[in-house]
Homo-oligomer: A and B are copies of this chain.
Amino acid sequence: MFENANNRTELSQLGEFGLINHIAKAVELKNPESVKGIGDDAAVINANGNQVVVTTDMLVEGVHFDLVYCPLKHLGYKSIVVNLSDVYAMNAQPKQVVVAMAVSNRFSLEAIEELYAGILMACKHYGVDLVGGDTTSSQSGLVLSITAIGAAKEENIVYRNGAKENDLICVTGDLGAAYMGLQLLKREKQVFLENPNVQPDFEGNDYLLERQLKPEAQDETIRILSEVGVKPTSMIDISDGLASEIMHICTQSDKGCLIYESKLPIDEKTYEQARAFNLDPTVCAMNGGEDYELLFTISLADYEKIRSRADISIIGHITAASEGYYMLDKSDHRVELKAQGWDAMKPNV
């Protein structure tokens, strides 16, 4: 099944996507109900004509979150949101979640209640049911593994692989804010570690903190697209960063892309803080990650239906595969895109 079993290859040489691709090569789908396997935001299963979508995400303390600045209630909320985001990215409606959790004796019942209060708050907000799970002990930190289940009509499911040449590339909301929120939290943690008497300084940055600590999923976008009668040709949610995600769409659709730097939706607060941190706001938007916005492509014919939506930005278009992945910067230079995105294999806290 796998070759070279006598060598030692470090996982860091492959990264998360490399590892997933490597595993995916050994996997073959046999059941006729298994419509889509590894390689999209969620798996798709046929259930009597309707489709069930299933996605899973694992959050590990010290890798995905730091309880020094992430309150447990927020963590619970976010852990649900990141999974629902994958369901919306299939143009499906999330319906249920199951929550598996490993927890060390460092956590009290009251701490776990806080976590579940956040989980249940998100469930309520998005109208999904917590239907099951598993609870076990851990010898070190907290590990959360959530699986979300959604439903859609077969004809409504949107995959990553349907982008066509000349399709418009659209993105919801704004980008890079969650990453700036994380930088602020890390800075204040450092200050706190050096002097526990100093109060954290987050003044005026509520928006950035909220984007990091309490992101929301794009239920509204799915509703609006359905309302105006637009079915995207491809869609993905932005968890690892725009550059990484558009390259997933292009690779799977066998296409290229051209993104316009001037069209990237970046909030004023993100600009401001990026400058304060000596960071390039465009790099934060392209590679910051954790935005949980939706990136999708639409046919040119659908342009009129979405052009007036303030919450959707058209940031570029799909090209032939031979043209590669590029961004036209503000000085009209073509810059090749690189997926430097947030890599879940490398600690990010």
Contact = CB atoms under 8 A, between A and B. Distances in A.
A27 B130 contact: yes
Given A60-B143, A143-B143, A109 B47 contact: no
A134 B62 contact: no
B45 A11 contact: no
A36 B102 CA distance: 23
A272 B45 CA distance: 47
Given A9-B108, A130-B37, A137-B345, A143 B102 contact: yes
A129 to B, nearest CB: 4
A126 B229 CA distance: 42
Contact of A5 (B11, B52, B110): B110
Count this chain's copies in the assembly: 2
* Interface residue range, chain A: 35 or more
A289 B43 CA distance: 33
Which of A20, A33, A133 has the most chain B CB atoms inside 10 A of its CB? A133
A101 interface: yes
B131 A11 contact: no
B131 A47 contact: no
Interface in A113-154: 113-114, 116-117, 120, 127-141, 143, 145, 147, 149, 151
A26 interface: yes
22 contacts: A7-B110, A13-B109, A22-B113, A26-B116, A27-B130, A31-B95, A31-B96, A31-B127, A34-B96, A34-B131, A37-B129, A43-B96, A43-B132, A45-B52, A45-B96, A48-B50, A52-B52, A56-B145, A57-B100, A137-B347, A140-B141, A143-B145
